[in-house]
Structure 1
Amino acid sequence: MPIKARSASTAERLMPVLSWLPGYRHDWLLPDILAGLAVWAVMVPESMAYAGIVGVPPIMGLYTIVPPLIAYALLGTSRLLVVGPDTATGLISALTVGAIAVQGSADFNALTSTLAILIGAFFLLFGALRMGWVAAFIPTPVMRGFIEGLVCVTIIGQVPHLLGINGTSGNFFTKLWFALRHLPDATLFPVVAGLLSLIAMLSLRRLAPRIPAALVVAIMATILVGLFDGEAAGVSVVGQLPSGLPHLALPNLNLAVLQELAPGALAIVLVGYAEALGGAKAAAMQTGGDIDPNQELVAHGPANILSGLFGGFLVVGSLSKTSIAMAAGARTQLANLVAAVFCFLTLVLLTPLFRGMPHPAFAAIVIAAMLHLSRPGYLRDLLARSRWEFSLAAIVVAGELTLGVLQGIALGVAVSLLMLIYLTSHPQGAVLGQLPGEEAYRDVRRHPEAITFPGLLIWRVGGELFFASIGHYDERLKAAVATHRPPPKHVLLDADSVDFIDTSACDALLNSIKELQSQGITFAFARVRDEVRERMRLGGLEAVVGSSNFYERVTDGVRAWQQQERLDVQSAAPRDQGRLGLSKE
């Protein structure tokens, strides 16, 4: 590749905006501007509302918008993904910082920004190490269970704001019991404001999904509370917000503090990246384009670091906000840059308008967002499809409701890893038979019509052969030999699913084959991959089995055995005649 072309390719990889900006079409400009306005209309009220989940003042929600949008637009590989505040990771942030600082204090706000910077550093580190595969460690049932549990925890946390009563700390059930006990303390006007806001949010999302429901509800609630003097009637409002741009602030780099923040930061990176990558891939499936998981990690790094440096909190890619951009006709990341410009103007010119915005309306926006995330039908379908995966999701939900959000997701990931270890160490081999009239061979348990051959056992290896799986595999193979009727004289191993065999497995398999050979059973292999066969050769397996007993297809191995059987019968016939004193005339 020429040096110029290679340098251009490297530049596009590091700065993906260069891959689409030179080819930008004029007819994309208006859709991108309109989509940017739609994203702005949603992000301003939602970011202020989500600041309540994070436990910081609403103004920090506005500080969180602009720098991340610009950073991701330049560095992200998705042309449509929108990054911003998020409910799932926001609650983890609140819990992480809340363990070392009092919510509402200046220290809490500063540490929340420090956490965002630490999260950005982890994103950059994982991207540099090309660890885009980490999202695979949160399987879909765990993620869905996490979201369903989070919906419950977040909603119960917003109920006091909705009802105008004080909240409490503790797990889901503690907060639920507290809210029920203090229902008589609820003030009428905040309850009415909150419930009307929630009804309006849900109705607009259902009846007019293209309308920015959060912005409409925030404006209408502010107007109504002002008209009816709701603040005097007990409705809590935002109050005076500072105008202008935030000042660049250096983070708290105390090593002890960073160590306390690190576990929560890692959890946020894992959960947030899984959510962001899912959103990016969903957008790419509908509009085209390639997603680089490692570059997505890199892009989220500066987005979070800049947010923290300018007084904001963490951000991740949001599927819900991305869906809004897509529905509004966005074509490229220019839509996010347009949204960033309008959010910048909002900070400079419009913050005085938010002074009378009621907290019950914020609570309604958050609750509506959480209800939109919930998919109880998925859990019902999961129960019908896989009981153990449903149990995995249920464990996560139960863990979140009783132990806490961080503990719930940690429990889910831990159980998933244990399940992964169990499945990889317990390969499910199977006895194969030939489908009538075909050359295909299938598991006889699932295909009773499959034909087996007396004296021949065709055994399919169910997965990788390595130190953790070979013991179970050896037991299953010997059990199949012992129970096969009539007893097999020949075993054909179908190794199509084996991509890897290590030294331990090779040695153990060699010993098993020698043991069965001593009992008069011969062996052959079919569909062995080149890399696996080379390891078998180096380990002495090929020499013991015989290089001529490796076949490209199962059918070839069966035919070779049948031919050998015929030869054995023919060679045995003269010997039998001689023993009986017979001769041909």
Structure 2
Amino acid sequence: MAATAALSAAIVGEAAGGPGAHSAALTAALAVTVGIAALLAGLLRLGFLANLISEPVLKGFIVGLALTIIAGQLPKLFGVEGGSGNFFEKIWALIGDLGGTSGFTVLAGVGSLALILVLKRAAPGVPGSLIAVSLGIAVAAVFDLEDHGVDVVGSIETGLPSFGFPDVSVDDLGGLAAGSVGVTLVAFAEGLGAAKNYAARDHYEVDANRELIGLGAAGLSSGMVVNSSLSKTAVNWSAGARTQLSGILVAALTVITLLFLTGLFEQLPEAVLAGVVIAAVVELVDSHSLVSLYRVFTRRPGQAYGVAARPDFMAAVAAMLGVMVFDTLPGLFIGIGVSLLLLLYRSSRPVISELGQLPGNGRFAALDRHSESRRIPGVIVLRVEAGIYFANAERIRSEARGGRRP
């Protein structure tokens, strides 16, 4: 969600030329264009495009995005201003700002983070995030933490928004159209990443076309670009939510909160919110999967170090570093691009087995797998374990002409 929000803000800011009432209208218009694009893609059953994002790329993308989200939350946790830019720029800015750390803010943020992590391990059934938020509000109100330099959420407007269509021109819509494609791709990739991640945990399947239709419907009805969020999905899942009923309950509670309870959250320290987000996102930094990819696809399996012999690890790292260095959309394209290039490379170098005849039954088997098979004098029998097309034709021709000798 953070990546989609950042990308949306950049597109709207460029189109509006600055903050103002027109920015709100453009934000709603962007949501409509993204909703239409996603809805059409879902109805046209273009969800197969998600297959371009391989599992290693998706893992690398999720890890990179999770680390970027954590880097964005750390300044709030320490009570410093922080910086903008990519993951490394944010971390460097944080290191430079550590001298201005607020002790009360660190106590609130790190305390909340530690409480959630301890409860998650010691009492998994206890809603640690809810307890941390409740305690944060109570402590901030009793000890007046805002007067001690702790940033709080602050004033929240009460009431429900009004319904209507965004007041924008055709030229505005045209300017948003190109950006909406990028937002749709990022929203779809981020949402699908979260969906697949937790679908694997709970053992159910995800229909990419339905995800697109859901994304489109949400965009058309929300007034702002929305999508599945890694961080919020993690919070939802860790709280025990497993069905769509959680969304209905959240919507009902949101309405009640907007009407009657906004005052309570005005005293919530930002550091506590940062602790909740970090606690939810940190488990998405699945370094074990990356290490496993590296170990499985090394020349000497079982060792942590060596030369990677398969491209999946390279694609995962490319996606992860792409997100961390170039932001979400470029990182996604880098991961997909590397994945496709490596796919083309592998398809251009198919496995070619030389066959020999098995004694007794006359059947053919690979010589390197069946030592009892025998070559036919004067004949080379090759089995190409892939479809033959222009990308691998030259290699197959070379193997047939001179690469194998009886």
TM-score bin (small chain): 0.7 to 0.9
After superposing the two structures, state which structure 1 stretch, 184-193 or 98-107, moved more: 98-107
Amino acid at match of 1:160: P
Cα separation, 2, equivalents of 1:104 and 1:366: 27
Q: Which has the larger radius of gyration?
A: 1
Number of residue pairs matched by the alignment: 388
| Residues 1:271 and 2:189 aligned together | yes
Amino acid at match of 1:255: L
Residue matched to 1:427? 350
Amino acid at match of 1:278: K
Structure 2 unaligned spans of 5+: 298-307
Structure 1 unaligned spans of 5+: 1-85, 486-585
How does 1:237-276 map onto structure 2 within 5 Å? Answer: 237-251=152-166, 252=168, 254-259=172-177, 261-275=179-193
In the alignment, which of 361, 375, 381 is matched to residue 458 of structure 1? 381
In the alignment, which of 218, 224, 227 is matched to residue 315 of structure 1? 227
| TM-fit CA distance, 1:221 | 0.7
Check the 8 A contact 2:11/2:176 in 1, yes or no.
Answer: no
Cα separation, 1, equivalents of 2:8 and 2:363: 54
| Residues 1:484 and 2:398 aligned together | no
How does 1:319-358 map onto structure 2 within 5 Å? Answer: 320=234, 323=237, 327=240, 333-334=244-245, 336-358=247-269
TM-aligned CA distance change 1:116 to 1:259, over 3 Å: closer
| Residues 1:135 and 2:50 aligned together | yes
Residue matched to 1:154? 69
Cα separation, 2, equivalents of 1:305 and 1:471: 51
Residue matched to 1:182? 97
TM-aligned CA distance change 1:120 to 1:391, over 3 Å: same
In the alignment, which of 360, 366, 374 is matched to residue 285 of structure 2? 374
How does 1:411-426 map onto structure 2 within 5 Å? Answer: 411-426=334-349
Q: Root-mean-square deviation (CA), in Å?
A: 3.1
TM-aligned CA distance change 1:284 to 1:208, over 3 Å: closer
TM-aligned CA distance change 1:338 to 1:367, over 3 Å: closer
Cα deviation 1:270-297 (Å, max 9, x = unaligned): 41353255258547735xxx76442332
SS at match of 1:232: helix
Cα separation, 2, equivalents of 1:452 and 1:350: 82
| Residues 1:408 and 2:331 aligned together | yes
SS at match of 1:431: strand
Cα deviation 1:55-94 (Å, max 9, x = unaligned): xxxxxxxxxxxxxxxxxxxxxxxxxxxxxxx455455545
Cα separation, 2, equivalents of 1:115 and 1:337: 25
TM-aligned CA distance change 1:160 to 1:422, over 3 Å: same
Check the 8 A contact 1:115/1:265 in 2, yes or no.
Answer: no
Residue matched to 1:209? 124
Cα deviation 1:532-553 (Å, max 9, x = unaligned): xxxxxxxxxxxxxxxxxxxxxx
TM-aligned CA distance change 1:460 to 1:250, over 3 Å: same
Cα separation, 2, equivalents of 1:102 and 1:152: 31
Cα separation, 2, equivalents of 1:304 and 1:192: 38
Check the 8 A contact 1:277/1:317 in 2, yes or no.
Answer: no
How does 1:566-585 map onto structure 2 within 5 Å? Answer: none
TM-aligned CA distance change 1:430 to 1:299, over 3 Å: same
Cα separation, 2, equivalents of 1:392 and 1:260: 27
| TM-fit CA distance, 1:126 | 0.8
Check the 8 A contact 2:62/2:193 in 1, yes or no.
Answer: no
**% identical equivalent positions:** 32
SS at match of 1:120: helix
SS at match of 1:432: strand
After superposing the two structures, state which structure 1 stretch, 194-203 or 417-426, moved more: 417-426
Cα separation, 2, equivalents of 1:439 and 1:361: 74
SS at match of 2:391: coil
| TM-fit CA distance, 1:203 | 1.8
Cα separation, 2, equivalents of 1:155 and 1:231: 24
Cα separation, 1, equivalents of 2:273 and 2:174: 34
Amino acid at match of 1:275: G
TM-aligned CA distance change 1:365 to 1:440, over 3 Å: farther
TM-aligned CA distance change 1:454 to 1:104, over 3 Å: same
How does 1:512-527 map onto structure 2 within 5 Å? Answer: none
Q: Which has the higher contact order (CA 8 A, sep 6+)?
A: 2
Cα separation, 2, equivalents of 1:187 and 1:273: 35
Amino acid at match of 1:347: L
SS at match of 2:376: coil
